Amino acid sequence: MTYPNWLSQRSYLSGDRMALSFQQQQWTFSEINTIALDYAGKLSALGVKENSRIAVLAKSTPEFVFVLYGCMHLGCEMVMLNERLSSNELTYQINDAEVTFIFVADVLKEKMNDSRVVLFSEVENAKSIQFEPQQQWAKDRTLSIMYTSGTTGHPKGVRQTAENHFSSAVSSALNIGIAPEDVWLCAVPLFHISGFSILMRSLIYGMGVRLYEKFDADQSAEEICNGSVTHMSVVGVTLERILTSVEQASMQASDRFKAVLAGGGPIPIAYMKRAKNCGIPVLQTYGMTETSSQTTTLQVADAERKIGSAGKPLFLYEVKTEKPGEVGEILIRGPQVTPGYIGKFAERDVQQDGWLHTGDMGYLDAEGFLFVVDRRSDLIVSGGENVYPAEIEKVLSGHPAIQEVGVCGAPSEQWGEVPVAFVVLQQETTVEELLAYCREQLASYKVPKQLTIVESLPRNASNKLLRRELRAWV
Ligand code: ATP
Ligand code: MG
């Protein structure tokens, strides 16, 4: 089973439409396809072939897009490297993936010392040679490989096939809708599924992408309010900064603006209320690298009555929990689910019994709305009771003196395990005051047995809390 080459097909069908804009520059689909073909010829000259596995390390710039699209014409497997990783972490990934080339943006050349490195400037200066652009793409072709954030252990290299990306884009369109004038603001990294999926939607829908190298709250707010973009992808922190900017300028979102897609974790209810006042519809989503991101989505209409929910699955997908009606591991099935990992985790069967076992715990309420509770690996069993660190963190982060908080389990002779908390303060307070606050709101077995004030919490390159490092602190 095949698809027509998305780049050629899009250029053929709507070549005159805007494909990409960056700062003052703009490219149509036919222009971008011409550049991509030229890049494919240059990459061929350097020795890249069909099925080559290559890696790319870059910031979100047009050159990054040209290299990716060139590779897609050639039929490569593209390992997307996170530029925020340390050199050691990058080395782990390129060795695990056994790539033949590493294409690196010139500004990042210090990060990577490896004989396989080819700088973007060397690609640009190469002389394009004749090659045979692929007419058809096999659906099970691996388009991209992305490493998970490494929150629970070693990052895992996830294969994302053409079918995974296609079904993800189509399911999202069935949910949000598409129109010819749509432009998606991309200020999330292109190496992450949140950004890469915007490029795939662009090719599949014929939609324009407004690309930013870095997130800028004021510029995002400006574009949302002046109607130059219709969609944007955000996480909680970036949404909050956009809202502040819109509020300070006393602006309102343009009527043309349709929605922000918010992922990575639950969005606090306070942000949802502020977004409503700014005229910004927020769609909360749940997903992971293994599902090409967005798998469930909470509609704007349900946001207030289903606070804390990640919504319902998109049309093509199914979600269930291990134990119907109670908290259990979240299982996912659908054409967006990866066929598997590469490298160290290649042998792991990701679809036992046809379902992806996510490692996340959650439940479906009586109406079928999904609530994500916490990571399975972080569950604390204390005196036979299940304690989810996220619940305790949520309570503590509601205290005005607390800036951020992390909770994990500590061994206990009496209870097996007990919860302990680490907090970063933004105002002065005492440990006793914080524990009293917990006792007001939590059952006694959930109240941290120890609470330590620290300077900062351990986080990974995606800014996610590393509870396994907290456990090492204990
Ligand atoms: P690793 O698999 O290496 O431990 P990771 O799971 O953090 O890293 P990602 O694929 O980037 O890597 O993140 C997906 C995870 O993020 C989900 O499995 C889930 O735990 C969390 N997540 C995503 N969206 C939400 C949400 N709306 N609510 C709660 N958690 C979410
Ligand atoms: Mg994961």
Return the structure tokens found at 283.
């769609």
Q: Is 90 in the pocket of ligand 1 (CB under 6 A)?
A: no
**Pocket perturbation via mutation, ligand 1, pick of 234, 283, 286 by most ligand atoms within 8 A of CB:** 286
The domain defined by 379-473 carries CATH number 3.30.300.30: yes
Low-confidence ranges of the chain (pLDDT < 70): none
Question: What spacing in Å lies between the alpha carbon of 54 and ligand 1's midpoint?
Answer: 25
Write down the pLDDT at residue 132. Answer: 87
- Using the mean position of ligand 2's atoms as its centre, give its distance from the Cα of residue 287 in Å: 9
Q: Does domain 167-376 have CATH number 3.40.50.10860?
A: no
pTM of the model: 0.94
**pLDDT tens for each residue of 319-334:** 999 988 899 999 999 9
Q: Token pair of 235, please?
A: 């996480």
Give me the pLDDT at residue 426, please.
Answer: 93
CATH 3.40.50.980 fits 2-138, yes or no: yes
Q: Is 221 exposed, middle or buried (0-12, 13-18, 19+ CB in 10 A)?
A: buried
Q: How far is the CA of 360 from the centre of ligand 1 (A)?
A: 8
Is the shortest distance between the CB of 175 and ligand 1 below 6 Å?
no
- Of 166, 160, 129, 131, nearest to 144 (Cα)? 160
- Please give the distance, rounded to the nearest whole angstrom, from the Cα atom of residue 147 to the centre of ligand 2: 9
In what side-by-side order are the strands of the sheet with 157-161?
A: 117-119, 101-104, 53-57, 77-81, 142-147, 157-161
Report the half-sphere exposure of 49 (CA within 13 A, side-chain side).
2
Ligand 1 close to Cβ of residue 264 (< 6 A): yes
Question: Residue ranges per domain, the chain?
Answer: 2-138, 167-376, 379-473
Tokens of 134: 């692929």
- The 10s digit of each residue's pLDDT in 103-154 is 999 999 999 999 999 999 999 999 999 998 899 999 999 999 999 999 998 9
Distance 404 CA to ligand 2 centre (A): 22
Say yes or no: do domains 167-376 and 379-473 share a fold: no
Q: Which atom of ligand 1 is nearest to the CA of 296?
A: 27
| Protein residue with its CA nearest to atom 2 in ligand 1 | 148
| Measured CA angle at 133 (ends 131, 137), to 5 deg | 145
CB 338 within 8 Å of CB 291: yes
Residue 337 tokens, joined: 């689910």
